[in-house]
Amino acid sequence: MNKRRKLVLIGNGMAGVNTLEQILKLSKAFDISVYGEEPYPNYNRIQLSYVLEGSKKIDDIILNSREWYEENGIALHTGAKVEFIDTEAKQIRTSAGVTASYDVLIIATGSKPFILPVPGANKQGVIGFRDIADCERMIEASKAVKKAAVIGGGLLGLEAAKGLVQLGMETTVVHLMDTLMERQLDATAAGMLKAELERQGIRFLMGTKTTEVLGDTHVSGLRFADGTELEAQLLVMSAGIVPNAEVAKASGIETGRGILVNDYMETSAPGVYAVGECCEHRGVCYGLVAPLFEQGAVLAKTICGVDTAPYKGSSVSTKLKISGVDVFSAGEYLENAGHRVLRVHDDWRGLYKKVLLREKRIAGAVMYGDVTDAPLLTRLIKDGAEMTDELYRQLFGGDGGGCCGGGAKASVVDGMADDEIVCGCNGVTKADIVRVIQEDGLSTVDEIKVKTGATRSCGGCKPLVEQLLQYVLGDGYEKQEKKQGICGCTAHTREEIVAAIREKRLTSVREVMMVMEWQQEEGCSKCRPALNYYLGMIWPAEREDERDSRFVNERLHANIQKDGTYSVIPRMYGGVTTPEQLRQIADVADKYNAKMVKVTGGQRIDLLGIEKQHLPAVWEELGMPSGYGYAKALRTVKTCVGSQFCRFGTQDSVSMGIALEKKFERLWMPAKFKMAVNGCPRNCAESGTKDLGIVGNDGGWEVYVGGNGGIKMKEAELLCKVKTDEELTEICGAFIQYYRETGNYAERTSDWLERLGMEQVCKAVVDDAANRKQLAERVELALAGLHDPWKEVLESEKLQRELYEAIKVKEK
């Protein structure tokens, strides 16, 4: 039997992991280890701007989950910076002193933001925009900062500015040149983009040179070459990127601007390769995704011993969506005396298209607003195609009087090479898409997205994927506006799935997938937990929870942290504890080296930095139920001290909070659920930002619903007023059950209430007494099927410990 070779990847970004994905398709002959400096698995940097503006969460942009690494036998080391490569001993060393040997090594360390060398650039409040940590710093700063500046009018700078505006900051882009994105757009397209971004609230200082960052220890503003100044408490440097070649330089591997590689991505060191933004090929360092995937395809075949054509460089085109606006450029984009210019400019519709000819051959193009022809123009420019009457009609319509391609279109995909990349974000080629359509019988874009990853990121390639569908299926293709399924594995909506579970009495995730003809046999991390929830909600007393369909946090009863350790939160009913519990928590924190002990916003104590293998023992020794700080369930009931102690208190908020928390804990819901009980209208427990908030007064209780204190801030709305504790408990139960039965999986009550409307919720829960009673009865049925909270955690952790022990035996 051949010995498996050790393959080590330094860098956990898109280029490196995409190379691994291609290697896994070609060979299983490697033991693979990945060392990433960030605390996250591989994620989509292209979508960082969505995280910044709040439309996506970090989990939404993860490309390869931790489970993917485990399933493919890849040892993932996050938060691990490799600082030296011993190329003779074939060994790497991390900054923590950890060493590992390799037979094959890939360096894919990406790039770093270029920080302008001006006085004051090292002050606090000056950051780049390159990773999740940068996003988190900007989001945190937005809570206190009112004015921000961004240096750089390129793609990243503009996306950062849009995100900062979305976060509520007055934001100014300072750009050295007179036009935005001057390396991709001509003056006309750049002017149209600037006007649109100004309408979106971004301010601009064009042709402005920054000479100094003002402030003492923290940035307070900028000074420019003309002596003028700009106030800003946050400064984002986005004036370009530089290859991150530090580890190569420290290890004696040849570098220029980046790590020098040949046409097979080999460095000067035997067995060491480089790919992506960190490397320099034929004098060029690429900063766009598509060339990096082309490099990865060559590298994967080289490492696996598969014949491959050498990498000769990439024809760079840029197709981007900037703050909701599509722009494209390829080849030559600034006209000169040697060009013939074909141009259509429609300010009313916000459309612009320019094609440059050099001796009748298509040399370059710029488009704004409508970029449908981007794939076609990319190929024509790459091939140096000659402009013909037919091409002219296709690009500009009829006799040229149409705008931006108003005439009939021939299929762009006819002339595409099989290895041409369709989805630049995920490195999916034409051949990949054609193969899954033919072999798996796919007929929709969503099915192709699940199978290949095409369109799952920015979505800019969707029109081309649709054309490929039409190209392959021919007369069998039917373009249809498909309803939105719960995920790409199915076209079925929540309502259809819930109805089928009830009508056909489906009782397991597998059964639902088979009966409803799931496209992806095993489902995905989005639909499996959703199906598990819907089944449990409908049949609370008739089925066992399928733990393998839950997220890892819910399986382990702890929140995984960015360094790979876990956060343990025991439950404290109503925020009330005892000296005995505090001693238990302190003893456990000491024994298992908790890195931090923190009081949470929900009046609990969080033990941070617990190692995974210690979780079973931690829970056993705490002897307390889980606070479900990780779950789509009741997280906490926050209380004030109420009438027991407070001189203003009119109701016993502590007792009511504890009673409600004990009643509804462990009840699974569509999303996380937070409650608060105040003893008087002073609102010390902050009921106005909770999913279910209760305020006591002299005459009874007021019930507020649909609040949210997170990224999407929303004040809770008054649902009703009640006089007795019994009425309050029934109303709470009915509201919770109505949310459980009608909410989409992962939909917070704030979004759910906005979708259904307060009138409908009030009618179902308050006005219709008979319906309220039935809801209350159904929630009681669901509660009756729950296990004891402490036993549930303990039994789960015992099983987990048995698994760890089995793994240790296997490793020995």
Task: For residue range 133-183, list pLDDT tens digits in order.
Answer: 999 999 999 889 999 999 999 988 998 998 899 888 999 999 999 999 998
What lies within 8 Å, CB to CB, of 481 at 6+ separation is none
pLDDT at 13 over 90: yes
Give Cα separations from 688 to 168, 406, 631, 641, 717 (angstroms): 21, 53, 22, 17, 8
Distance of CA 489 to the CA centre of its chain: 19
pTM of the model: 0.62
Q: For 337-356, how does the pLDDT look when each residue is reduced to its tens digit (9 = 90+)?
A: 889 999 999 988 889 999 99
Closest-CA residue to 330 (of 464, 190, 185, 428): 185
What's residue 807's pLDDT?
45
d(CA 368, CA 350): 8
* 3-class SS of residue 762: helix
Instruction: Read off the pLDDT of residues 14-53 as tens digits, 9 standing for 90 and up.
Output: 999 999 999 999 999 999 999 999 999 999 888 888 888 7
Which residues are part of a known binding site for [4Fe-4S] cluster?
640, 646, 680, 684
The answer to whether 189 and 404 are in contact (CB under 8 A) is no
Cα 76-82-87 angle, rounded to 5 deg: 110
Nearest CA-CA partner of 529 in 691, 746, 739: 746
Alpha carbon of 699 to those of 5, 692, 721, 765: distances in Å?
75, 19, 9, 21
59 pLDDT higher than 90:
no
The pLDDT of residue 24: 94
> 326 or 720: whose pLDDT is higher?
720
Compute the average pLDDT of residues 801-805. Answer: 51
Statement: residue 482 has pLDDT above 70:
no
| Residues tagged in the binding site annotation for siroheme | 684
CA dist., res. 479 & res. 46, Å (int): 29
Specify the residue for token string 């942009």.
61
Give residue for tokens 């946050």.
234
Percentage of residues in the chain having pLDDT higher than 70: 92
For residue 423, CA distances in Å to 289, 344, 458 come to 10, 27, 9
What number is the average pLDDT over the span 507-530? 86
**How far apart, in whole angstroms, are the C-alpha atoms of residue 469 and residue 448?**
9
pLDDT in tens, 284-298: 998 877 788 889 999
Query: Per mean pLDDT, which range of 399-408, 554-563, 666-675, 722-731 is the poorest?
Result: 399-408
Q: Which of 314-318, 776-780, 789-793 has the lowest mean pLDDT?
A: 789-793
pLDDT greater than 50 at residue 490:
yes
Least confident of 461-470, 503-512, 652-661: 461-470
Please report how the helices 14-26 and 289-304 are oriented relative to each other, as an axis angle in degrees rounded to 10: 40
Q: Give binding residues as ranges.
A: 640, 646, 680, 684
Domains along the sequence of the chain with CATH: 5-110+243-304 (3.50.50.60), 126-239 (3.50.50.60), 317-410 (3.30.390.30), 421-476 (1.10.10.1100), 494-550 (no CATH), 554-784 (3.30.413.10)
Q: Where is pLDDT greater, at 80 or 478?
A: 80
pLDDT at 361 over 90: yes
CB 273 within 8 A of CB 253: no
Q: Which residue has the higher pLDDT, 474 or 668?
A: 668
Angle made by CA atoms 772, 776, 779, in degrees to the nearest 5: 140
Kind and range of the H or E element at 107? strand 104-107
Q: What is the residue-averaged pLDDT of the chain?
A: 87
pLDDT at 801: 53
Contact (CB, 8 A) for 52 and 42: no
Rounded Cα distance between 274 and 15, Å, is 10
Q: Pairing relation of β-strands 605-610 and 596-599?
A: antiparallel
Structure tokens at 721: 């007023």
Res. 407 pLDDT band, cuts 50 70 90: very low
Given this model, what pLDDT does residue 810 score?
A: 44
Task: Name the least confident of 246-255, 475-484, 536-545.
Answer: 475-484
pLDDT digits over 93-121, tens only?
999 999 999 999 999 999 998 889 999 99
Q: How far is residue 282's CA from residue 573's CA, in Å, rounded to a whole number? A: 65
Of the ranges 261-265, 423-427, 500-504, 800-804, which one carries the lowest mean pLDDT score?
800-804
Alpha-carbon distance of 556 to 566, in angstroms, equals: 9
Q: Is the pLDDT of residue 399 over 60?
A: no
pLDDT of 655 higher than 70: yes
Give 646 or 252, the one with higher predicted confidence.
Answer: 252
Strand pairing partners for 232? Answer: none
What pLDDT is recorded for position 16?
A: 95
- Secondary structure string (H, E, C) spanning 336-396: CCCCEEEEEEECCCCEEEEEEEECCEEEEEEEECCCCCHHHHHHHHHHCCECCHHHHHHHH
- Work out the pLDDT band at 637, boundaries 50, 70, 90: very high
Say what the pLDDT of residue 557 is: 80
Non-local (6+) Cβ contacts of 442 within 8 A are: 436, 448, 451, 469, 519
CA atoms in the 13 A half-sphere facing the CB of 428: 26
Distance of CA 674 to the CA centre of its chain: 24
Residue with more model confidence, 812 or 266: 266
Of residues 114 and 765, more confidence is placed in 765
How wide is the angle at C-alpha 15 spanned by C-alphas 131 and 50, nearest 5°?
Answer: 35
- pLDDT given at position 400: 42
Length of the chain: 812
Q: What is the rounded CA–CA span in Å between residue 281 and residue 262? A: 6
